């Protein structure tokens, strides 16, 4: 079964992300892992301060028990399982340990903090660490996101298209489970649009998205973040999908210099995949 990792700090934002995850994966059996981590601040460690961690563990266990009971009330597949984990470690280390158990069949769903949605996502220390160090797909849910099934997704690609089918497998599975339509969009870097009728990139994506309704859009505009955001808003996109690369525009997109325009679209959950 797919392992769905749900980090929580017991905030309203993390609960909304957990609720969204239950909705996304209600049609398939999953292993839901509710995860809370805590650790001693580096400042305390540097001055040699020791802390009684039993208190933190007891408090975390109590909160996790309540969260687990609340999560069980949500609709989900009858064969799904729920595990609550509270442990003394970093969030990244905890996710990586879980990832090793199911390296090719896991996903992380977590909330973003604050009213700025995407801006907080990329500026937030915790989510930035997860984005940088964890290799499984990551679904980020802004605090005021519309929690609706992803009937329409937007896959934003660069001039290289999609390298491999497994790169977008998480999106494909979600689309199949929800009968989603996918808008594949690109903002050309020059006058030659990526999606010509005879280009190899389009042929490859057609093959990967076989039997999934999809369409192509080459969006003109100088500021890619603005163009993509406006398109998602205009077309009623429920889930924005990006393949994170460590080069070119997409590397810049996931940098802290994300524009205010894109941060404005805080009602759009995002699925971040790995190249």
CATH of residue 242's domain is 3.40.50.620
Domain membership of residue 17 (yes or no) is yes
For residue 45, what are the domain limits? 2-141
Residues 14 and 86 grouped into a single domain: yes
The domain boundary, picked from 121, 141, 161, lies at: 141
Residues 27 and 130 grouped into a single domain: yes
Contacts of 179 (CB under 8 A, 6+ apart): 151
The domain boundary, picked from 141, 171, 203, lies at: 141
How many structural domains are present in the chain? 2
Query: Per-10-residue mean pLDDT for the chain, 275 residues long?
Result: 94 91 95 87 50 76 93 92 93 93 91 53 60 87 85 87 90 96 84 62 89 90 74 93 67 44 59 83
pTM (2 d.p.): 0.85
Domain membership of residue 147 (yes or no) is no
Residues 40 and 65 grouped into a single domain: yes
Residues 132 and 186 grouped into a single domain: no
**What is the reported pLDDT for 245?**
67
Residues 14 and 94 grouped into a single domain: yes
Residues 168 and 251 grouped into a single domain: yes
Residues 230 and 249 grouped into a single domain: yes
């Amino acid at each position: 079964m797919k392992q769905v990792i749900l980090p929580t700090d017991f905030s309203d934002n993390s609960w909304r992300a957990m609720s969204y995850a239950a909705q996304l994966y209600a049609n398939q059996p999953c292993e839901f892992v509710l995860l809370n981590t805590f650790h001693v601040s580096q400042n305390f460690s540097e001055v040699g301060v020791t802390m009684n961690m039993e208190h933190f563990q007891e408090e975390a266990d109590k909160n996790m028990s309540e969260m687990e009971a609340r999560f069980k009330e949500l609709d989900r597949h009858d064969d799904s399982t729920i595990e609550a984990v509270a442990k003394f470690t970093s969030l990244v280390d905890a996710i990586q340990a879980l990832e090793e158990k199911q390296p090719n069949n896991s996903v992380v769903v977590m909330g973003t903090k604050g009213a700025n949605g995407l801006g907080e996502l990329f500026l937030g220390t915790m989510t930035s660490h997860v984005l940088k160090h964890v290799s499984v797909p990551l679904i980020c849910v802004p605090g005021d996101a519309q929690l609706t099934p992803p009937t329409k997704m937007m896959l934003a690609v660069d001039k290289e298209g999609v390298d491999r089918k497994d790169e977008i497998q998480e999106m494909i599975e979600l689309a199949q489970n929800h009968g989603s339509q996918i808008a594949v969009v690109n903002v050309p870097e020059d006058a030659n649009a990526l999606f010509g009728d005879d280009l190899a990139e389009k042929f490859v994506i057609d093959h990967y998205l076989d039997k999934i309704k999809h369409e192509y859009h080459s969006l003109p505009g100088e500021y890619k973040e603005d163009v993509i955001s406006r398109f998602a808003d205009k077309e009623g996109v429920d889930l924005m999908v990006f393949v994170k690369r460590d080069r070119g525009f997409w590397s810049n997109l996931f940098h802290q210099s994300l524009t205010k325009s894109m941060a404005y679209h805080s009602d759009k959950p995002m699925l971040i995949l790995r190249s």
